[in-house]
Structure 1
Amino acid sequence: MKNQKVLLNLLVFLLFAACSKSNYQKTEDGVIINLNQRNKSEAQRIRLRVLGEDLIHVSATSEKEFPRDSSLIVVPGLSTAPFTIDDIGDSITLSTARLDVLVSKKDGGVVFKDKNGKIILAEKQGGGKSFTPIEVEGTKGYSIRQIFDSPDDEAFYGLGQHQADEFNYKGKSEELFQYNTKVSVPFIVSNKNYGILWDSYSLSRFGDSREYKQLNNVFKLYDIGGQPGSLTGTYISQSSEKQRLVRKEDSLDFEDIKTIKNLPENFPLKEADVTFEGAIEAPNDGVYRFILYYAGYVKVYIDNELVVPERWRTAWNPNSFKFTVGLEAGKKVPIRIEWRPDGGKSYFGLRVQTPQEEEELNNQVWWSEMNKKMDYYFVYGGSMDEIIKGYRTLTGKSQIMPKWAMGYWQSRERYKTQEEMLGVLKEFRDRKIPIDNIVLDWNHWQEDSWGSHEFDKARFPDPKGMVDSIHAMNGKMMISVWPKFYANTEHYKEFDREGWMYRQAVKDSIRDWVGPGYVGSFYDAYASGARKLFWKQIYEHYYPLGIDAWWMDASEPNILDCTDMEYRKELSGPTALGSSTEYFNTYALMNAEAIYEGQRSVDADKRVFLLTRSGFAGLQRYSTATWSGDIATRWEDMKAQISAGLNFALSGIPYWTMDIGGFCVEDRYVSAQQEYDKSGKENADLVEWRELNARWYQFGAFAPLFRAHGQFPYREPWNIAPENHPAYKSILYYTNLRYRLMPYIYTLAGKTYFDDYTIMRPLVMDFQHDEKVLNLSDQFMFGPAIMVCPVYEFQARSREVYFPEGTDWYDFYTGKVVQGGQTLRVDAPYDRIPLYIREGAIIPVGPDIQYTDEKQADNIVLYVYSGQNGSFTLFEDEGTNYNYEKGYSSTIDFHYDDSEGILTIGERKGEFEGMLVERKFTIVIVNKDSPIPFEYNGQGKVVDYNGKKQLIKL
């Protein structure tokens, strides 16, 4: 009887084990749930991995087993956290100290809840997943889609840096690929206290899984005479021939080097006015999303309303702009597009999406073209800063940039000789305009030797002497290094022998724009050996010169401008890891790894600094910043950089910059400068050019990195305007302000590493519960204290400013107080932008310096803004090496108790070589009864500090 009972218990156990195995398997770091779905387009297995109490990795596959692979963006070796698994009802529940994650045993749908049972995020009912088989170059994979439910009051931020001037992506869509001026990072932060990192390297989409269609695939088209089938295109040349051409346009598709051939052959577009007009008839009621792709000048009218005011981009580098129009089914609506190509080869296109299907509409949608499986990471946090911290736990710490990188950089396309470069830096010093970094752009090599890493001796006879001279003037030098090699160079041949060059461009004899045009291509950064060789070539040719930083241009990779997507893939593959379809978006990440790992392997004490035109999730771990590419010199482009920079910050990468003044210049500004150089007369266009630059510098001084660059007209302050001009004076004021704020700014840089901080902060980061900031994209916090309100309209001398609730605000220039929770129109004179300081702020002001390490801040003016309690922790270290990773740095805590009027200066913690042992603090208290402007040498209580704690009654 006893044996029978033992056998019965064993049978029950085996049956239970078998049943459990069929439902789920517990693993060391999570659980695998087995599903019995019949449709191969649905998930068959779901895997949860616990990477922290608030970090969950979700994987799904439509296969019987998960494929073996590893992530390019998530750092290896992440530890797990305690968790439990429960099989309750129709769900398997994984629980950590902060989360409960429920997975439906029926369809694999995942729901994330907090410990109070409140839903944070839920996949759409039924799981929201789909898998569509795809095969590329003999490799099988899936196009994948994931839909999450999204409440009406949700807001999404991040996705990298794009140029359509969109901020909150709720109800919007964005196609994620890399392009000059477009940096795609598949990470979003929600105002519902979570983030999603989508682990895919292929072409992806957020918000709408569909691609845009040609107009004739959506609408019935009518010409200007009412005949169906096409719009009317009218081409009028303004050249001497005065040619006129009218033709039918069944689509507006001239977007790349293939489809541009659809434009009239041999028609002189350089000086032409083109109109596309007629009517469109929608098949259904609803909101239609349009995407305008344009070079030259363009306006769009729909239903006789101007829906796209005039925009401009240079002929070789088009831009995309999105807009929506509500249309009624069966109703003919007039459309008129006015286009001036502004170039012999100018690109143009207009495409559209029909109203979105109900299952995707206003939800969170992710789609990717090719993956082996589906992977995403759920990041939970009580604030957006906590979410960014979780993101960097997954993808790597942000390094502290060298201190000099926080100063001003001067660049130009391009310094053509050694004398020119040294002369510009000397003029900065002579004029006492602070500067730390001067940049040498492309084509410093001989014309036919791109990729040689050798200087043209005729123009740069002594490169080592040039760099030494820059250092002697207390400057640093950054140099442009492309992953591009002409086929005739020895460096190309070194790569090619190992199979590490993309060869399609060479096979097709593609010639670039230099001189007669030269054939070359890009190296395969996905090959480990190729990355090591890339660094080896740089180390042997550039590094001995003492160059300080690396400018990794065209890292999309941009092998050929204005190509269609399929040809772009052909040109940039196959990669060492697989097809370029699967690994389309991560080239810049791999390229950055090559330099970062390379330099740290040979020079452990010198901080790496990289600037790259493209990027991806994880870029921050390679001490890499990104800039917004070859943007245009237009007011709308300046404004678009604000939202672009803010969304890039919320993509988890803290260092971002832009070409102050814009890179590509309208002809009218070029002509105006040339006329001024001859006659000394300032015409209307030059007036606007100078104001545009003044406003852009005012904004740029509060970007994480402060950098000017562009084509002619030159961007040095004295080339923008003479020294008695308000533009020059304003540029000098904000450059000096940047340097006086260096103790504050460098502390923010330290916080990016130690606290996973974000320097350029959308207001929603610090005032998340104020609904009025959810869509506010033209103001931001620079660190915890300063609210920056750029001016981006010509001749504007005031602007509306919203003052977030929960705090009052001090006017930076007067010290007067503005109550929070209201919108006011405030003054914005030519030479100033509105700046405000929040209550409780503590801001350290350093000495008058011309470069960041000219002198130590032995007497800091400490501004304390009363009204609330406040704190600030001053961070200092050696500024150029990695000793901070070893614990060699110092901090001083400041805390202000508003009710007692007492400032506590804490005991100094930590130490480093060369640290100031004693210093002075001049404490300036600003309160509502006695307004005090922000001045560098404010009068206040002087305190001698030797590292010991002090309490000061204010």
Structure 2
Amino acid sequence: MKIKTTVTVLLLLFTRAAFSQAYTQTNTGIKATVNNINVEIQWYSPRIVRIMKSPKDAVVKKESYSVIKTPENVSVNIQQHDNKLVQQTDSLQVIINLQTGRVSFGRPGGEIIFSEKDHGTQFTPIIDLGKNTYDVRQAFFLDKDEMIYGLGQQQNGKMNQRGQKLLLLQKNTKVCIPFFQSTKGYGVFWDNYSPTLFTDNPQETSFDSEVGDCSDYYFLLGNSADGVIAQMRQLTGQSPMMPLWVYGFNQSRERYKTQFELVDVVQQYRTLQVPLDGIIQDWQYWGDDSIWNAMAFDPVRYPRPKLMADSVHAMNAHLFIVAWPVFGYKTAQFAEFKKKNMLINFETWPKHTRLYDAYNPVTRDSYWEYLNKGVFSQGTDGWWLDDPEPDHLNHNEQDYDQPTYAGSFRSVCNALPLLHAGGIYTHQRQTTSAKRVAILTRSAFAGQQRYGANTWSGDVRSDWSTLHKQIAAGLNFSLCGIPYWNTDIGGFIAEDYVNGGTKNPEFQELYIRWLQFATFTPMMRSHGTILPREIYQFGQRGEWPFDVQEKFINLRYSLLPYVYATAWQVTANAGSIMRALYCDFASDPQALDINNEFMFGKSFLVAPVTQKGVKEQVVYLPAGTRWFNFWTGDQLEGGQSITEATPIDKMPLYVKAGSIIPWGPRVQYAEEKKWDNLELRIYPGTDGHFTLYEDENDNYNYENGQYTEIDFHWNDQTRMLTINDIRGSFPRMLQSRKFNIVIVNKQNGTGAAPAVKFNKTVTYKGRKTEVRL
């Protein structure tokens, strides 16, 4: 139990009596003691620095769950000027006030861009599970006008997180990551896993964590949003490629009740010739007798699970299976883990279940053994990790005082999604490299991108306000350095639409607007409770609720070459898929706090419709470029707001001048046709560049260099398209292909349908080709 002492003890004493100008150099930086607080600065790179502070007599041994980078050998110049100790690389200056302990961060010229408060580190002694430790708080100064983004996925609808007071504690629909980045080009990661109060007000910005042996944070100088994200990936891990099929359309429901029902859904999509790549089996496939999560298929309703998977594969689709971190008391796992003290003893949802101790590597081994034997060995393709927060039943504070392998649950609770996903990713990689790990998970923590995890926004309500909030939630999540995010199309909880169900025009409108938004998120996935969500539940072809869905699902598949190439930039160059306008238009003040628009990759400006019944919508076009209306080909200069009509079959969608967009073939699933006859849409007005990426789509051979890249460059002045030599190779790669080139204008290359004519068709055999248009 966490116990605070009666009198709060601030180990930062407001006195100069303990002031000392002495410091010690280490292999990674310096150590000093100021006012009875040990201060250590560790340089991880010329632009990444770690600040650790602890009470003078404390012994701190900490291994980070999130940080996997080790300190580089960094050349640091150290100088002392009176009470200031200055450390400087060619990129970053760190200054310690040896009188107050304040640490400040600046550029080599002396400009301070971020600073702690004087006496801003506070340790309040507590007892946590019998251990003497601290409630630890660190306060900073932010400039009045700077904006900050991040903190995970918050459901407050805000882009700029200034002025917020948020308890960072994982829960359904709320993903908590103690990280933010600033419009001044830096990021701060507070490396603590206990419940943490983030506060920003005119006096200070602070993290206050309930349990911690030290104040421990990383300062990352990126000079831009992409730069900070790249630093965060260096620190916490790069993001692997998802299989190509994951970027297609994925269908789910809460829930399919037999293997025959699930297979029939895939069959109906194939019969209707509506594209589909993934089908998701939610809970209770294990049967009722086990109570919960037996990790084996009920022999009555799922009598031949291998045949189920094979049947899905025979229709060129893939199967996600849900896996929970909690177990019912009648399962074999519950019995084994209880006997070995590998359960965390508080009641989770549903009733009579307990959480496994994912902090224990031996427990993670056992978890995978059950999952592999009972599920993965049957031929399944991906994981749906529900409840990794987890949900509490009869929630109370004492739940957090339960012991785990790593200490009290309170001290490590926010990292549970990271450990849970990491255990599954690591073990599947050890089991096979033939299938890329594909994880859907309801929560996340810093570093989770390295585990092939795609976080969804939880059991959100089916209403317009919630739809609107998902945009800022997803963008701030991505700005934490985790690129894969999605949401239940239509919202999870649809109880307001029981009357009429999927034939209710109000739900149909909400669902379709949500689906349009999801077309431009890293994963396009339909799911929800109460109402089934398959396309044929809404009507039939020829009726608008069906036709608009089909139009946007087909649009997603047309964009697959673009999406897959963007995903490669995520993996190879620490890029992002769903991008806040700040990422690309940081010099445009009007773009910095827009919460209803975003970039999809580097080319598409997306403005989802999030209001019921609207016939038009105001869209801001960021300054510094010309924009093409995707649907009409009209060209507009940036730096202005325009009003656009929003009929139900369209949402505002613009393409940046200079974009080169490869347009995929009409298919029923992602790998149905090779990309040997691609339409290439060029949006003129400025020079442009694009890299087309291809590999074997679903294994890890790309990590060994088995992939290809083709660079395209558009010179707007000379009207020359250069297709460079292909780089790389892989088995069964294309040796020859056609590029059907379209210069987009109001007459051609607009909208979701293929172009009606081409400016030129080029046969490409891997050698540099120049095309004047």
The one-letter code of the counterpart of 1:920 is K
Could you give the per-residue CA deviations for residues 724-761 of structure 1, whole angstroms, max 9, x where no partner exists? 22121111011001001110000111111101001000
Q: Which runs of 4+ in 1 moved over 3 A?
A: 19-22
Cα deviation for residue 64 of structure 1 reads: 3.2
Could you give the per-residue CA deviations for residues 24-59 of structure 1, whole angstroms, max 9, x where no partner exists? 11111111122135xxxxxx1211111111100111
Alignment-derived partner of residue 842 in structure 1: 660
Distance 1:460 1:782 in 2: 39
3-state SS of paired residue (2:522): coil
Distance 1:790 1:169 in 2: 21
Could you give the per-residue CA deviations for residues 332-364 of structure 1, whole angstroms, max 9, x where no partner exists? xxxxxxxxxxxxxxxxxxxxxxxxxxxx52632
Alignment-derived partner of residue 670 in structure 1: 498
Preserved contact between residue 21 and residue 98 of structure 2 (Cα < 8 Å): no
Q: 1:529 aligns with which of 323, 337, 362?
A: 362
Alignment-derived partner of residue 112 in structure 1: 105
Alignment-derived partner of residue 629 in structure 2: 811
Map of 1:456-467 to 2, 5 A cutoff?
Answer: 456-467=298-309
Alignment-derived partner of residue 371 in structure 2: 538
Alignment-derived partner of residue 4 in structure 2: none
Map of 1:751-766 to 2, 5 A cutoff?
Answer: 751-766=569-584
| Structure 2 residue 395 is the aligned partner of structure 1 residue 563 | yes
| Structure 2 residue 62 is the aligned partner of structure 1 residue 63 | no
Could you give the per-residue CA deviations for residues 222-242 of structure 1, whole angstroms, max 9, x where no partner exists? xxxxxxxxxxxxxxxxxxxxx
3-state SS of paired residue (2:644): strand
Distance verdict in 2 for CA 1:672–1:60, change over 3 Å: same
Could you give the per-residue CA deviations for residues 576-608 of structure 1, whole angstroms, max 9, x where no partner exists? 110112112111111111101111111133211
Map of 1:126-137 to 2, 5 A cutoff?
Answer: 126-137=118-129
Distance verdict in 2 for CA 1:141–1:720, change over 3 Å: farther
Distance 1:65 1:96 in 2: 30
Could you give the per-residue CA deviations for residues 818-877 of structure 1, whole angstroms, max 9, x where no partner exists? 111011111111111010001111111011111111111101111111111111111111
Distance 1:887 1:629 in 2: 36
The one-letter code of the counterpart of 2:246 is A
Distance verdict in 2 for CA 1:798–1:916, change over 3 Å: same
3-state SS of paired residue (2:499): helix
Q: 1:736 aligns with which of 535, 538, 554?
A: 554
Preserved contact between residue 171 and residue 363 of structure 1 (Cα < 8 Å): no
3-state SS of paired residue (1:646): helix
Distance 1:195 1:504 in 2: 36
Cα deviation for residue 94 of structure 1 reads: 1.3
Q: 1:83 aligns with which of 76, 79, 97?
A: 76
Alignment-derived partner of residue 914 in structure 1: 732
Q: 2:334 aligns with which of 470, 492, 495?
A: 492
Distance 2:602 2:255 in 1: 37
3-state SS of paired residue (1:129): strand
The one-letter code of the counterpart of 2:112 is I
Map of 1:777-816 to 2, 5 A cutoff?
Answer: 777-816=595-634
Q: 2:209 aligns with which of 358, 364, 368?
A: 368
| Structure 2 residue 761 is the aligned partner of structure 1 residue 942 | yes
Preserved contact between residue 480 and residue 552 of structure 1 (Cα < 8 Å): yes
Count the aligned residue pairs: 753
The one-letter code of the counterpart of 1:386 is G
The one-letter code of the counterpart of 2:95 is L
Preserved contact between residue 35 and residue 101 of structure 2 (Cα < 8 Å): no
Cα deviation for residue 774 of structure 1 reads: 1.6
Distance 1:159 1:525 in 2: 23
Alignment-derived partner of residue 554 in structure 1: 387
Distance 1:396 1:196 in 2: 16
Preserved contact between residue 85 and residue 95 of structure 1 (Cα < 8 Å): yes
Preserved contact between residue 642 and residue 778 of structure 1 (Cα < 8 Å): yes
Distance 1:80 1:875 in 2: 34
Alignment-derived partner of residue 391 in structure 1: 232
Distance 1:192 1:362 in 2: 19
Preserved contact between residue 924 and residue 938 of structure 1 (Cα < 8 Å): no
Could you give the per-residue CA deviations for residues 85-116 of structure 1, whole angstroms, max 9, x where no partner exists? 22222211111120111111111111111122
Cα deviation for residue 723 of structure 1 reads: 2.3
Unaligned runs of 5+ residues in structure 2 are: 1-17
The one-letter code of the counterpart of 2:395 is T
Alignment-derived partner of residue 649 in structure 1: 478
Distance 1:503 1:46 in 2: 37
Q: 2:276 aligns with which of 435, 438, 448?
A: 435
Alignment-derived partner of residue 694 in structure 2: 876
Distance 2:287 2:172 in 1: 25
The one-letter code of the counterpart of 1:63 is K
Distance 1:616 1:752 in 2: 18
The one-letter code of the counterpart of 1:143 is D
Could you give the per-residue CA deviations for residues 109-141 of structure 1, whole angstroms, max 9, x where no partner exists? 1111112221121112x1422111111111122
| Structure 2 residue 65 is the aligned partner of structure 1 residue 31 | no
Preserved contact between residue 661 and residue 710 of structure 1 (Cα < 8 Å): yes
Distance verdict in 2 for CA 1:78–1:851, change over 3 Å: farther
The one-letter code of the counterpart of 1:155 is M
Distance verdict in 2 for CA 1:899–1:363, change over 3 Å: farther
Distance 1:362 1:190 in 2: 17
Preserved contact between residue 110 and residue 127 of structure 1 (Cα < 8 Å): no
Distance 2:406 2:637 in 1: 57
Preserved contact between residue 630 and residue 655 of structure 2 (Cα < 8 Å): yes
Cα deviation for residue 922 of structure 1 reads: 0.9
Q: 1:601 aligns with which of 426, 430, 446?
A: 430
Q: 2:185 aligns with which of 193, 202, 211?
A: 193
**Root mean square deviation, CA, Å:** 1.7
Could you give the per-residue CA deviations for residues 520-573 of structure 1, whole angstroms, max 9, x where no partner exists? 21111011100111011111111210100111110002242x624x14425xx3
Q: 2:86 aligns with which of 93, 96, 107?
A: 93
Could you give the per-residue CA deviations for residues 891-920 of structure 1, whole angstroms, max 9, x where no partner exists? 111111111111111111111112111111
Distance 1:621 1:754 in 2: 13
The one-letter code of the counterpart of 2:500 is A
Preserved contact between residue 45 and residue 74 of structure 2 (Cα < 8 Å): yes
Alignment-derived partner of residue 379 in structure 1: 220
Distance 2:199 2:688 in 1: 40
Alignment-derived partner of residue 867 in structure 1: 685
Distance 2:472 2:500 in 1: 30
Q: 1:750 aligns with which of 560, 568, 575?
A: 568
Alignment-derived partner of residue 150 in structure 2: 158
| Structure 2 residue 712 is the aligned partner of structure 1 residue 894 | yes
The one-letter code of the counterpart of 2:361 is S
Distance verdict in 2 for CA 1:92–1:27, change over 3 Å: same
Distance 2:634 2:109 in 1: 44
Distance 2:661 2:266 in 1: 30
Preserved contact between residue 509 and residue 648 of structure 2 (Cα < 8 Å): yes
Distance 1:840 1:848 in 2: 25
Distance 2:57 2:540 in 1: 71
Q: Percent identity?
A: 39
3-state SS of paired residue (1:174): strand
Map of 1:469-508 to 2, 5 A cutoff?
Answer: 469-505=311-347
Map of 1:578-727 to 2, 5 A cutoff?
Answer: 578-667=407-496, 669-673=497-501, 686-727=504-545
3-state SS of paired residue (1:585): helix
TM-score, normalisation: structure 1 = 0.77
Distance 2:203 2:160 in 1: 12
TM-score, normalisation: structure 2 = 0.95
3-state SS of paired residue (2:514): helix
Preserved contact between residue 89 and residue 108 of structure 2 (Cα < 8 Å): no
Preserved contact between residue 596 and residue 607 of structure 2 (Cα < 8 Å): yes
